[in-house]
Amino acid sequence: MASSATPATTIRVAAIQIAPDLDSWSGTLERVLAAIADAGAKGAKLAVFPETFVPWYPYFSFVHPPVMTGGEHVRLYDNAVVVPGPVTEAVAAAARRHGMVVVLGVNERDHGSLYNAQLIFDATGELLLKRRKITPTFHERMIWGQGDGAGLKVVDTAVGRVGALACWEHYNPLARYALMAQHEEIHVAQFPGSLVGPIFAEQIEVTIRHHALESGCFVVNATGWLTEGQIARISPDEGLRKGLRGGCMTAIVSPDGRHLVPPLTEGEGILIADLDMSLIVKRKRMMDSVGHYARPELLSLLLDDRPARPMHGQAVTSGPAYQTPSLDRSLRHGADEPDRHAFDGPADGAPDQRVAVLRGAAGRS
């Protein structure tokens, strides 16, 4: 079971920037387990790894056109992580052995599709959350399917309430707000690293520091790293190789937006920092964006947190066909709160009729 106890006042965390093994999932897994042991020896109670680190981030899709990537795409399928499976069992055992919360990015294989997934293991080894990136970015849409709202959750762990987003999900303010509204205390961010160039590192830094300030939480961010040999292997074109350098910003940020240790922007390494959890209250007493600084009667978030399913069972009845609810009908349920169930569709039902609703208070008397 997840821990519900109040976390210690100070928590030591590790943000890990290392290179994957581009040959096999097992080789990358060995590096993950070694890094967990290393972080554990340094006293860390939380370890964060880069985006889709196991088996590796699909760098090939960024520098090659889709017509040229079939072989590498299939190889990614062959090495991708099934949840649960050997990778999750090994990481769970390591988390339990070191009494450590572990957040790992993986390429998850679910039958015929791949997903950008984030896994949160508690210090007991229990897998508390598997979530999928809701919208793959640019070239990634040729590689991964889309996630759903069911993964936009904050979970109770041995180190406190932890939420996670991957890469450009941080540019979706509503996704960030969904975690903020669940009162995350430690936000885990994951980016691929060794991508785009130095400007990407600058953008990552702005993004994670802003989220720390806005959420009033700590941010632990991990980016990956590629060696020169790995870059040459991915592309023989030196012009394209420029797109596989830079973009590293492994960092640990406090609720007031400060780096707790200098960020890691080159090479492999592990950042270690002690989080003084009392800083959360010191920030939020001034600005709590989901509490005393919020105006929910004016602005609020509607989250569809149902898991997406490709098939729904429904018993055949002689009743009338299902009718799509109108916005009008929904709003008649109350001036301030539309009937959410009007948009849920039939139970176990017919085709999903999800709609987005924009509500404004202007002009109401």
Residues with a known catalytic role: 51, 133, 167
DSSP per residue, 196-234: S-HHHHHHHHHHHHHHHHHHTSEEEEEE----HHHHHHH
CA-to-CA dists, residue 267 to 100, 114, 193, 234, angstroms: 24, 28, 11, 18
Per-residue tokens: 4: 């519900």
Distance, CA of 73 to CA of 249 (rounded, Å): 27
The structure tokens 């350098």 sit at 245
Per-residue tokens: 284: 């939020």
**H-helix or E-strand spanning residue 24:** none
CA-to-CA dists, residue 258 to 148, 216, 255, 300, angstroms: 32, 12, 7, 29
Q: Half-sphere exposure (CA, 13 Å, Cβ side) for 5?
A: 9
CA-to-CA dists, residue 5 to 102, 153, 179, angstroms: 18, 19, 20
Distance, CA of 216 to CA of 80 (rounded, Å): 35
CA–chain centroid gap for 227, Å, is 25
Distance, CA of 80 to CA of 86 (rounded, Å): 11
Per-residue tokens: 198: 């130095």
Distance, CA of 49 to CA of 190 (rounded, Å): 7
**H-helix or E-strand spanning residue 185:** none
